[in-house]
Amino acid sequence: MQVSVESTQGLERTLTITVAADVFEKEYDGRIRHLSKTQRVDGFRPGKVPASVIAKRFGDAIEHEVAGEVMQRNFFEAVMAEKLSPAGAPTVAPKVRAKGEDFVFTAKFEVYPEVTLNALEELVVEKESAQVTDVDLDKMIETLRKQHATWSSVEREAANDDQVTLDFEGSIDGEVFEGGNAEAFQIVLGSNRMIPGFETGILGKKAGEEFTIDVNFPEEYHAENLKGKAAQFAIKLNVVEEQVLPEITPEFIKKFGVESGELETLKTDVKQNMLRELQQVLKNSAKDKVLTALVENNVIEIPKALVESEVTILRKQAMERYAKQMDAQNLPELPAELFTEQAEKRVKVGLLLGEVIKVNELKVDQDKVTALIESAASAYENPLEVIEYYKSNKEMLQNMENVALEEQAIDFIIEKAKVTEVNKSFDEVMNKTVA
C-alpha cells in the first residue's frame, strides 16, 4: 500500500491510496472461487460451476464489494500510518482501473485541530453566589399556598391577580380577524399572557360590563398578518374572582408528603429542595461562564463534520420537545441555521475542555462520582434503589463519570482563573434561570 497526503484547505485532508494489483486480484479471485463452490447455476453440478461463469454473471457486483472492503481496511491502515485523526467519516472515491492494474482510491476528510491552550490564568470569570434566607423560604411557602388556591366571585372592580372570565371579539379596521375571538375565556390579570394593553384594559371593570379596548400587536408577533397592527377588542366581562389562599393546616401540609403535618418539617423539606435547586443553578451558571471565557480566550479551527453532527443532535432534541406540544407529522424540518452557532460553541468547548483534561492529566475522581449519584438519587422517593441502579448499569455509570470529569475540569479552571465572586439573592438567581 502506498499513501500520499495532501492538505487541501483548513483541516481538510485528501489521501491517495494505492493498493497493489495482486492484492486486489487475490481478494477478487478468492470471492469468485468461493461462489463457484456454493452458487447454484443451471446446467452445472453443485460446486462445479466454472470460475469464468461466476465472473461473467457476478463479476461487477463482486468487484464493487471487494473495492468497498479494500477501501475501508486500507483507509484505517493509512490514517494510522500517517498519524492522522479523522474528525468524521471520509468521502471515498475509487479510480477507474483495468484488470491487472493497481487499485487506487482517494479519501477526503477533516482532521481534529491541534489545540494549544492559552494560559488559564488569563481567564476572567464572574462567579455568582447566593443563600436561601428565611424570607426566601416564607415566599416559597406562600407560592405553595397559591398553587393550591381557590377562586371566589367578587362584585368589585377587577384588579391585578384576579381571575376573570370573559367573551371577546377582535377586529382590525372594523374587520373581525381569524383567531381573535373566544367565549368563557379565563385569565389571571397581571400574568402577561396576552398582548400588551389587553389585560390592563380590563382593570377597573366589573362583572357584567361590556366595553372596547384598543391595543397594538407587537412587531415581533408570531402571526405575520397581525404584526404591528392596531386592533380593537369588544369585551364582555362575565366573572371577576379573587384568589383565596388555603390556611396552613396539618391537612394542607400533608399534601406535600409530610405525614406529621408539622410546619417546621415542611419548611425543612422545602428548604432542602430550594438549596439543591439553587446549587445546581449556581453550578450551571459557573460552568457556562467558565466555558464562555475559555472559548473567547482560545481561537481554534473546528471541523465542519463535528459541527454538522452537533446540529443533527440539537435539531433532534428540539423536534422531540416540539413533538410533545403538537402533532409530530405537522412539524416542519427545522433549518440548520437555527442551531449552527450553538453547535459551533459545543464543538469548541469539547475540544478545549478535552485539552484541559489531557494536558493536566485529570482523572475521574470516584468520590465525586459517588457524590453526584447520591445527589441525583436524593430527589427520588427511594434513593438507595436509584444508587444501586447507577452502579449496576455500565452506561449510566460511564455517563456519570463523564459528568464528574467535566466538573473536575471546570473546577480546575476556576482555581487557575481570575475569579470575582458576586453575591446575589435567591430570587435574582432563580428568576434569571426561569427567564
Average pLDDT, consecutive stretches of 10 residues, N- to C-terminus, the chain (435 residues): 90 95 90 81 75 82 91 94 93 90 95 93 93 96 94 96 96 92 94 93 96 94 89 96 96 94 96 92 92 94 93 89 67 82 94 95 94 87 90 92 94 94 94 63
Q: Please report, for residues 327, 338, 429, 430, the alpha-carbon distance to residue 426 in angstroms, rounded to integers and kept in the order given.
A: 38, 32, 5, 6
Nearest to 303 by CA among 15, 107, 110, 14: 110
pLDDT of residue 434: 52
Give the strand pairing for 2-7 and 91-94.
unpaired
Q: Please answer whether residues 397 and 376 qualify as being in contact, where contact means their C-beta atoms are separated by less than 8 angstroms.
A: no
pLDDT of residue 176: 93
Q: Measure the CA dihedral 303/304/309/314, to 10°.
A: 110
**Distance between CA atoms of 132 and 125, rounded to whole angstroms?**
23
Nearest to 202 by CA among 217, 216, 187, 224: 187
Instruction: Give the residue carrying C-alpha cell 480546575.
Output: 412
**Distance between CA atoms of 77 and 263, rounded to whole angstroms?**
69
Q: Please report, for residues 286, 289, 392, the alpha-carbon distance to residue 420 in angstroms, rounded to integers and kept in the order given.
A: 11, 12, 41
Q: Please answer whether residues 125 and 420 qualify as being in contact, where contact means their C-beta atoms are separated by less than 8 angstroms.
A: yes
pLDDT of residue 435: 43
**Cα–Cα–Cα angle for 420, 422, 424, nearest 5°?**
170
Q: Please answer whether residues 94 and 104 qualify as being in contact, where contact means their C-beta atoms are separated by less than 8 angstroms.
A: yes
Q: Please report, for residues 95, 105, 108, 144, the alpha-carbon distance to residue 63 in angstroms, rounded to integers and kept in the order given.
A: 13, 14, 22, 72
Residues near 139 by beta carbon (within 8 Å), at least 6 away in sequence: 427
Q: At what angle do helices 383-392 and 394-416 cross, to 10 degrees?
A: 100
> What does the block give as the cell for 199?
389585560
pLDDT of residue 433: 57
pLDDT of residue 379: 77
Q: How many CA atoms lie within 13 A of 130 on its CB side?
A: 24
pLDDT of residue 424: 94
Range 25-34 contact pairs with CB under 8 angstroms and sequence separation of 24 or more? 25/99, 25/100, 27/66, 27/69, 27/70, 28/62, 28/63, 28/66, 31/62, 31/65, 31/66, 32/58, 32/59, 32/62
What is the reported pTM? 0.71
> What does the block give as the cell for 5?
497526503
**Distance between CA atoms of 54 and 201, rounded to whole angstroms?**
86
Q: Please report, for residues 170, 240, 424, the alpha-carbon distance to residue 184 in angstroms, rounded to integers and kept in the order given.
A: 15, 12, 42
pLDDT of residue 422: 94
**Distance between CA atoms of 260 and 385, rounded to whole angstroms?**
25
**Distance between CA atoms of 170 and 419, rounded to whole angstroms?**
54
**Distance between CA atoms of 106 and 78, rounded to whole angstroms?**
11
> What does the block give as the cell for 99?
484488470
Residues near 148 by beta carbon (within 8 Å), at least 6 away in sequence: 246, 252, 255
pLDDT of residue 333: 75
Residue type present at position 294: L
> What does the block give as the cell for 291?
466555558
Nearest to 307 by CA among 333, 340, 350: 340
DSSP 22-74: HHHHHHHHHHHHHHHHH---TTS-TT---HHHHHHHHHHHHHHHHHHHHHHHH
**Distance between CA atoms of 368 and 425, rounded to whole angstroms?**
28
